[in-house]
Structure 1
Amino acid sequence: MKKSLLSLALLTALGGCSLIPEYQRPIAPVDAAWPQGETPADQQAMDLGWREFFRDPALQQLIEVALQNNRDLRVAALNVEAYRALYRVQRANLLPLVSADGTATRGRTPADLSPNGQSTVSGQYSATFGVAWELDLFGRLGSLREEALQQYFATEAAQRSTQISLVASVANAWLTWQADQALLDLTADTLKTYDESLALTQRSFDVGVASALELRQARSAVETARVSLAQYSRLVAQDRNALAQLLGQSIPANLLQKRELGDQQLAELPVGLPSDLLTKRPDIVQAEYQLRAANASIGAARAAFFPSISLTGAAGTASRELSGLFDGGSGYWTFSPQISLPIFNAGQLRANLDYAEISKNIQVAEYERAIQVAFREVADGLAAQATYTEQLQAQRDLLETSEEYYRLAERRYRTGVDSYLILLDAQRQLFNVQQQMINDRLAQLTSEVNLFKALGGGWEERRTAAGAP
């Protein structure tokens, strides 16, 4: 009895053995500070709820609809459930398999095959309680369980990353639609002005005041504006289609009203240290979990070199008659321990271990690449943040100058001081500057959204008193 307890204790101790290499996080291949020298704030963007950052109620409603209906996000959530189920499968393999079985067999033996020369009918009935258990002495099953667990954590991080990308994509699609709508309205107004100029030039040409060249230039300006009008009409329609796809349904009618591009107010983004991204940005967290999973697979590949031991046992009753199945003396039991030691497999186990180690090296490179991509995205966002304010102010000053230039050119043309070429040049310059102003404003807003995404923001949802619907 003492020997049996000692053997059980020894097997239990060996069952805790693991051949998984000790995990060490790779050193981040980036600097410890941002190139722009930003001072870290107390709060981090990744802790800022998307409702706090996007203060436009219409955009908040769009994001909420997308989070409920977007198919990519739904697939990501289902992947989490799938990997959770796979983890439960691997965890169950560590425990004994217990089963209860019942069998019944009836058969007739013909006379020419029967020992006594007479046909016979016989039966056999049994009820069995069985146990099968593979002893994980070298941690193979434990390594597979750990690998499945890390893969499950990776899919959870992937789901967060998908949501962050979705929130940013909805915001950018919404802003792009507004910008193209503003450009469409601007082009329509400009075309109306060009039509009026063409009509005036046509009358002047009819009375011999304007030249044929001026008339052709006026018509050229009108046709150019019509080309732009068709282009922006197409872009607005495509923007709506892209936004509807992100939402997973049609866009609510009350949100399709025309809005000024500057109506959206984005909260100020707090910027943390680069090291903060390593533990909280979902795609980096996902890459590290995948690295941990690859590390665990090495333990399973190493354990395959060692013997595997399985214990199989069964106990029950058996009888020729169903009525005697549970009578005294009908009990039986079996116990079948099995050990398997690999001797020759043509290098298969060695190749599996090599593959596991190479896979880990690949995941190390993937992890480092994810860090470098994240670092660049944030650095680019900070660079844009620092320069777009100056660019927009310069563009506003240029717009004021162009408007004044157009007013002066129009007055001088009407009074006969300057030719139509000067007025046409002023019109085109004003139109181009107005277009660029809208594009620059869009670029500034989307750069802020992309910086919010790059910093890992967009996962939390916090309702503020002003922004809560």
Structure 2
Amino acid sequence: MKNIALILISGLFLVACKVGPNYKREDKERPISYVQVEVSSDSITNMSWWEVYQDTTLQSLIKNALEVNLDLLFAASRVEEAKAVLGYNKANLYPFLDYNAKARATDFRETSQEAGVAFSPNMIGLMGNVSWEIDFWGKLRRANRAAYAELMSAEETRKSIYISLVAQVAELYFNLRGLDERLGITQRTYETRMEYLDIITKRFEKGNVSELDKLQAEQLAASAEAQIYALEREIIYVENALNILLARTYQPISRGLENKQQLMPLDMPTGLPSELLERRPDIVAAEQSLIAQTERIGVAVAMRFPSVNLAAFFGVASPSISNIFTPDAFLGSVTGQLTGPIFNFGQNKRRVEMERERAMQTAYNYEQTVLNAFADVENSLAEIRTYTNEFTARMKQVKATEKSLMLSKALYDNGYTSFLQVLDSEREFYNAEFEKSIALERQLIGTVRLYKALGGGW
């Protein structure tokens, strides 16, 4: 027993060694502030998504999506898989214990291959085997750390999908409400044009206007009617996209507030760019993947060195059950084994090179993820600023074109201008209302994208 304890203590002492590189985040220059806004240490991500999106109907859609969305459920399953992989790898750090029980009735003596023990006829035995690979070079520990990093990466990926799902539902919802608004504008425009067509037709029948005026009025009405069908089609597409996020087949989507009624935060603090590296789940996931791959280099390096294994056999064997637990029935042995490569045509060396190149690729992916993140924030800030200004300009345009249309109709009715002037004014008014609706929708979507780009919503 003293020898067994000595071997085990020696094995534990040897565990202190470890080969291969350790991950260290590369110190790269990052922007100290965002170009589109002033430096601020506060961030909109300090608000929960239900504080940002205050439309109760939208909140309900988001909650339902978070419960049933298939991509999110898939990501959650990947997290559970990663937990199982971590547990599987962690088990390799500890000794394995196997057992077997035998009862023999033979006409000749036989030697047990497991223990090298001669069994006589009518032998009863209870045996156990302990095997333990001493992690001398850190191979098992690095594999365990790689599995843990992959678990962290899977968890951060799940968070990233969570954030993206919240953003997708909100973006599609604002798109849907924008289409509803533009459908209403087009339907009202169609009704107005049909009324005007009726008036022009009656005037044409009386010979008061030319056929050209009547044809131009018909053209305007038909154009508005065609636009109605196009918008109805777009609404179905968006509703279907939302239904897919809700893991169901098509059904109409509930509506809440109109886009012009939405109460979104007016102040959009972004926080410091340096915080983005820790706050965005996709960046953290990419870095954890890099950590895992760095650990796999160490595993590959360790495989070039000898492995140390301890094996122990212990048990009892006796011709009768009554004597099976007597001191004479006890059997046991401990063996140590050293195995390692000698010549394998450079296979182990190439394995290390493979893992190093994979780590390099993962590092490139991490850096690309960081660059994309900063670009997402800047783009979203630009969208909010420019669409806010555009919406203000579009409101002025709507007022001006509406007044111009009223004046054009009055002049035409009194014979001071041609119907072509009315057509131009009417088209300008319709287009201005249409573009104003789009600008407001994109302003709201810009807020959604900024919230997502900053890693908010989790």
Q: What is the TM-score normalised by the length of structure 1?
A: 0.90
Asked whether the equivalents of residues 127 and 313 of structure 2 are also in contact (C-alpha less than 8 Å), the reply is yes
User: C-alpha offsets along residues 347-385 of structure 1, whole Å, 9 cap, x if unaligned?
Assistant: 111111001111111111111101100000111112222
Equivalent-residue separation in structure 2 for 1:13 and 1:394 (angstroms): 75
Describe the SS at the equivalent of 1:377: helix
Give the match for residue 113 of structure 2: none
Work out whether residues 82 and 150 of structure 2, in 8 Å CA contact, stay in contact via their aligned partners in 1: yes
User: Map of 1:113-132 to 2, 5 A cutoff?
Assistant: 123-132=122-131
Give the equivalent residue in structure 1 for 2:438. 439
Q: Does residue 14 of structure 1 match 2:14?
A: yes
Tell me the equivalent position of 2:116.
none
SS at match of 1:20: coil
3-state SS of paired residue (2:315)? strand
SS at match of 2:125: strand
Letter in 2 for 1:256: S
Structure 2: segments with no counterpart, 5+ residues: 109-119
Once the two structures are overlaid, the 10-residue window that deviates more, 415-424 or 367-376, is 415-424
Q: Deviations over 1:94-141 (max 9, x none)?
A: 0001122212345579xxxxxxxxxxx954432112211010011000
Which residue number corresponds to residue 258 of structure 2? 260
Identify the residue that residue 118 of structure 1 maps to in structure 2.
none
The structure with higher relative contact order (CA 8 Å, sep 6+) is: 1
Shift of 1:27: 3.0
* TM-superposition CA deviations, 1:215-260 (whole Å, max 9, x none): 111111111111111000111112111112112247997x724642
In the TM superposition, residue 4 of structure 1 has moved relative to its aligned partner by 7.5
Residue 31 of structure 2 corresponds to which residue in structure 1? 31
**Percent of matched pairs sharing the same residue:** 31
The range that moved more, 355-364 or 385-394, is 385-394
Q: Is contact 2:22-2:295 (8 Å) kept? A: no
What SS class does the counterpart of residue 457 from structure 2 fall into?
A: coil
Residues 258, 143 of structure 1: alpha-carbon distance in 2 compared, 3 angstrom cutoff: closer
Mapped partners of 2:28, 2:193: distance in 1: 58
2 CA distance for matches of 1:59 and 1:101? 61
Q: Distance in 1 between matches of 2:255 and 2:140?
A: 59
Tell me if structure 2 keeps the 8 A contact 1:45–1:456: no
**Corresponding residue number in structure 2 for 1:398:** 397
| 1:69-468 equivalent positions in 2, closer than 5 A | 69-106=68-105, 123-249=122-248, 256-257=254-255, 259-267=257-265, 268-320=267-319, 325-326=324-325, 329-459=328-458
* One-letter code aligned to 2:260: G
Q: In structure 1, how many angstroms separate the alpha carbons of the residues matched to 2:405 and 2:329?
A: 109
CA distance in 1, matches of 2:192, 2:395: 22
Give the AA of the match of 2:411: R
Cα distance change of structure 1 residues 215 and 9 upon mapping to structure 2, 3 Å threshold: same
Cα pair distance change 1:106/1:8, threshold 3 Å: closer
Distance, in Å, in 1 between the alignment partners of 2:5 and 2:332 is 21
Q: Residues 396-446 of structure 1: CA distance to partner in whole angstroms, max 9, x if unpaired? A: 101100100111111111222211111111111111111101111111110
The question of whether the paired residues in 1 share the 8 Å contact of 2:4 and 2:334 is answered with no
Cα distance change on mapping 1:129 and 1:258 into 2, 3 Å: closer
SS of the residue corresponding to residue 328 of structure 2 reads coil
Do the aligned residues in 2 keep the contact of 1:87 with 1:152 (CA within 8 Å)? yes
Deviation at 1:214, TM superposition (A): 1.4
State the SS of the aligned residue for 2:195.
helix
SS of 2:217 mapped into structure 1: helix
Contact 2:317 2:324 in 1 (8 A): yes
Whether contact under 8 Å (2:398, 2:433) holds in the other structure is yes
Between the aligned partners of 2:340 and 2:220, the Cα distance in structure 1 is: 86
CA shift digits 1:49-81 (9 cap, x unpaired): 111211222211111111111111111111111
- Residue 46 of structure 1: how far off its partner (Å): 2.9
Cα distance in structure 1, aligned partners of 2:101 and 2:2: 35
**1:5 CA displacement:** 6.5
Q: Aligned partners of 1:259, 1:123: CA distance in 2, in Å?
A: 86
Say if 1:230 and 1:28 are closer, same or farther in 2 by CA, change over 3 A: farther
C-alpha deviation, 1:299, in angstroms: 0.9
Supply the RMSD in Å over aligned alpha carbons: 2.2
**Normalising by the residue count of structure 2, what TM-score does the alignment of the two structures yield?**
0.92
- Structure 1 unaligned blocks of 5 or more: 110-120, 460-469
Letter in 2 for 1:260: E
Q: Is the 8 A contact 2:14 2:134 kept in 1?
A: no
**C-alpha contact (below 8 Å) 1:181/1:258 kept by paired residues:** no
The 3-state SS of whatever aligns with 1:329 is: helix
Aligned 8 A contact 2:243 2:251 in 1: no
Instruction: Give the SS at the match of 1:312.
Output: strand
CA distance in 2, matches of 1:172, 1:107: 78
Q: Which residue of 2 aligns with 1:40?
A: 40
Equivalence for 1:117: none
